[in-house]
Structure 1
Amino acid sequence: MPHIPRDPDDDHTEAMARRRRAMLTELTGASLDAVAGAAFDPAAARGNVENFIGVAQVPIGVAGPLRIRGEYARGDFIVPLATTEGALVASYSRGMRLLTECGGVSTAVVEESMQRGPVFSFASAAQARDFGAWIRQRFTEIKRVAEGTTRHGRLQDIGQFQVGPLRYLRFDFTTGDAAGQNMTSRATAAACEWIAATHPAHPVYLLSGNIDTDKKHSHINTLLTRGRRVVAEAVLPRTALLDAMGVDTADLFRWRQASATGTLLAGAAGNGAHAANGLAALFIATGQDAANVAESHASLTYTQLLDTGDYYWSVTLPSLIIATRGGGTGLPTQRECLELLGCHGSGKARKLAEICAATVLAGEVSLAAAVIHGDWVSAHERLGRNRPAARP
């Protein structure tokens, strides 16, 4: 059985990465020359990855300019997108140019919260119900214990849901500029230990009863928010849409009704087109936890065909999970991409959230227009097929 080499004292070194690559090459015959091409010291990845062997080099393109008139993001932005899908950057860039020509995108962060959802078990439903009342009476004490574990986390509320003798608690925190999953886990664990020790029944509990729905889409997060709820909105003048995309606003609205009905029929996570495309590319470029796309891609599109013939379009992201500190945001490549946006470090998470929402809106506009106009497939044929160059 193969053994992965490790150094318990200092495992994040080029020597250890080389040893692991050599073991893998001997075992499989695979060349790892490209994987070995990290542009930074392996020590920089400490806390981000174990058994380091190198890097996955994802191409980064830039889209824009995108004019944003938000509360935190203001100005014209060039957005880095890391992707292997041809035509994606071009499509987002097309949508961004149109939105900019139309005066830009208004954005607002309307709610913030990060959850951990423990579940407590009792002998009967009545005991679980009474436990819920006990929790409500002691919120101030629980808040003190939870916040004693963190400088930035603040406990806002504890939601409660009961099934049989089980009482599910949903701890809601604000987490500053961090995504906050680890922060809320630590704080909630401390609170649960205090609860179990202090409550007369000394109930048993599981730190996550899955009602926080970490790393997966859920309707409860769409309703109650996980991470940040962000809205991006714009008005597209009829003439601008016709000139740029060859699509009339009346046709756009008519097909919007058909696609919304299809979403209902499918039971999809959102009624937009492809929020996950832009978010995944932006997440990878800026060092976000890519698995959070599972929650973050849920999107709610709302449109109006105005009396003037112009088109109001908004996208709401109810569970956008991003950070500008911690996690992968400090890695060299990812930090550079955050710096391109002016979003690295403290006090920048809301700005990044607004940029994410505006980027999603640009992608929705571009793809919808391409489908209606009939150049969706042809654009992918031209830009998205990795064919060998033709011989003369």
Structure 2
Amino acid sequence: MTDPDAHIPRGDDDYTPEAAARRRAFVEARTGARLDHVGRYAFDPAGLPGNIENFIGAAQVPIGLAGPLRVEGEHARGEFYIPMATTEGTLVASYNRGMRLLAECGGARATVVARSMQRSPVFIFDDAREARAFGEWVEAHFEPIKAAAEATTRAGKLVSIQQFAVGPTRHLRFNFTTGDAAGQNMSGKAAFAACEWIRTNRPGGARYILSGNTDTDKKHSQMNVIATRGRRVVAEAVIGREPLKRLMRVEPEDLFYARQVSQAGAFLAGSANNGAHAANGLAALFIATGQDAANVAESHAAIVYAQLLDSGDYYWSITLPALIVATVGGGTGLSTQSECLAIMGCQGAGKADKLAEICAAMALAGDISLSCAVLAGDWVSSHERYGRNRPR
């Protein structure tokens, strides 16, 4: 039987400094840990409902600033300073170095090419023929299914329903656009309404589980690389031979040769990313700006494509096929997170495409810097000199 004294203290109003202090005192008494720093924060806990439960304080992650990052996008145009929350030494400096090279080469051209957020219910039947007939019925009734889904949301739009047959089941992958929100909860609510409409209106009813897992929420999948989850965004640049040699001490021909070798290595390993380290920059930016950090699992997938041009310059692009970012909802409205979004002019409605273009350009800068550091022999030495927090 559970010790009643082991229950975490809760009250009628759980979002006050006093409630947080009671829980800190509780955990200190039971574990012996000291929470002096956890209990120091600058925001009002009253603004946290919907973001956290059993609130006790804050994890203070250092925020560094990289930039300026020059972006020539359709939504992000100009120079941007990038807040990066991390404890990894050299990370901000490395991205900053890549941004400097991009700026000298005219910046990164960024393009959002697709938008899609999924929920994937699975319907269960007695045999495969009944499941196939159900799929045909869904195709014939797409418009009322769409209406039922969209009745639950102002921003969400049901664009399509993909279907996949497995034995006596039919997996439906509902594809939504979700405006400036990340949209997982929005699409879940809308898909539930659509499934209930199907269950009620299909002759004979229908049995379903709301998530059949083909949306691969918070998980990488090849499905999302091919079909898009969140935003599919491309950042590309032509890197001039002269600034590449001067700033990075790397020849374009050596860079292109290394690209072929590392591409084969990524293929051998079955990697989700044939580039350098998109997850590093994305995680740091996500934490700083109140994104769902678990979405790095999907968002870090990347496809790097490069060409050695006849001019001797180097074309470099990175495609992020499953970038999930938001400028409204979730943690984006909290105090420090909102301030970090404001640094980039990405706070509030109408800014998610802009943030996505900045993310892709930042990922390109990071890949440029790390890839060149490996070739020039700076990778280990820079971490040894700047990236180790030794006791003083």
Shorter-chain TM-score range: over 0.9
Q: 2-side partners of 1:330 and 1:285: how far apart?
A: 12
Tell me whether 1:114 sits opposite 2:114 in the alignment: no
The CA deviation string for residues 312-351 of structure 1, in whole angstroms up to 9 with x for no partner, is: 0000000000000000000100000000000010000000
Q: Which residue of 1 aligns with 2:133?
A: 130
Tell me whether 1:85 sits opposite 2:88 in the alignment: yes
How far the C-alpha of 1:45 sits from its partner, in A, is 1.5
Tell me whether 1:164 sits opposite 2:136 in the alignment: no
Q: Which residue of 2 aligns with 1:303?
A: 306
Q: Which residue of 2 aligns with 1:153?
A: 156
Q: Secondary structure at the match of 2:109?
A: strand
How far the C-alpha of 1:388 sits from its partner, in A, is 2.4
Tell me whether 1:18 sits opposite 2:21 in the alignment: yes
Q: Which residue of 1 aligns with 2:341?
A: 338
How far the C-alpha of 1:219 sits from its partner, in A, is 0.2
Q: Quick one: which amino acid aligns to residue 197 of structure 2?
A: W
Q: Which residue of 2 aligns with 1:314?
A: 317
Q: Which residue of 2 aligns with 1:241?
A: 244
**Under a length normalisation based on structure 2, what TM-score does the superposition of the two structures give?**
0.98
Q: Quick one: which amino acid aligns to residue 75 of structure 1?
A: G
Q: 1-side partners of 2:125 and 2:7: how far apart?
A: 45
Q: 2-side partners of 1:110 and 1:201: how far apart?
A: 41
Unpaired segments ≥5 residues, structure 2: none
How far the C-alpha of 1:224 sits from its partner, in A, is 0.2
Unpaired segments ≥5 residues, structure 1: none
Tell me whether 1:353 sits opposite 2:356 in the alignment: yes
How far the C-alpha of 1:201 sits from its partner, in A, is 2.5
The RMSD of aligned alpha carbons is: 0.5
Following superposition of structure 1 onto structure 2, how do residues 169-184 of structure 1 map, counting pairs within 5 Å?
169-184=172-187
29, 41, 66: which one aligns with 1:63: 66
Q: 2-side partners of 1:190 and 1:173: how far apart?
A: 14
Tell me whether 1:105 sits opposite 2:108 in the alignment: yes
Q: 2-side partners of 1:54 and 1:72: how far apart?
A: 36
The CA deviation string for residues 187-217 of structure 1, in whole angstroms up to 9 with x for no partner, is: 0000001101111131210000000000000
Q: Quick one: which amino acid aligns to residue 189 of structure 2?
A: R
Q: 2-side partners of 1:126 and 1:216: how far apart?
A: 31
Q: 2-side partners of 1:277 and 1:270: how far apart?
A: 12
261, 266, 276: which one aligns with 1:263: 266
Q: 2-side partners of 1:201 and 1:256: how far apart?
A: 56
Q: Secondary structure at the match of 2:332?
A: helix
Q: 2-side partners of 1:43 and 1:230: how far apart?
A: 36
Q: How many residues align?
A: 388
Q: 2-side partners of 1:18 and 1:201: how far apart?
A: 55
Q: 1-side partners of 2:205 and 2:253: how far apart?
A: 62
Q: Secondary structure at the match of 2:148?
A: helix
Q: 2-side partners of 1:115 and 1:41: how far apart?
A: 34
Q: 2-side partners of 1:57 and 1:106: how far apart?
A: 34
Q: Quick one: which amino acid aligns to residue 96 of structure 2?
A: S
Q: 2-side partners of 1:66 and 1:40: how far apart?
A: 29
Q: Which residue of 2 aligns with 1:225?
A: 228
Q: Which residue of 2 aligns with 1:4?
A: 8
Q: 1-side partners of 2:7 and 2:166: how far apart?
A: 45
Q: Quick one: which amino acid aligns to residue 181 of structure 1?
A: Q
Q: Which residue of 2 aligns with 1:214?
A: 217
Q: Which residue of 2 aligns with 1:277?
A: 280
The CA deviation string for residues 271-294 of structure 1, in whole angstroms up to 9 with x for no partner, is: 111010000000000000000000
Q: Quick one: which amino acid aligns to residue 313 of structure 1?
A: W
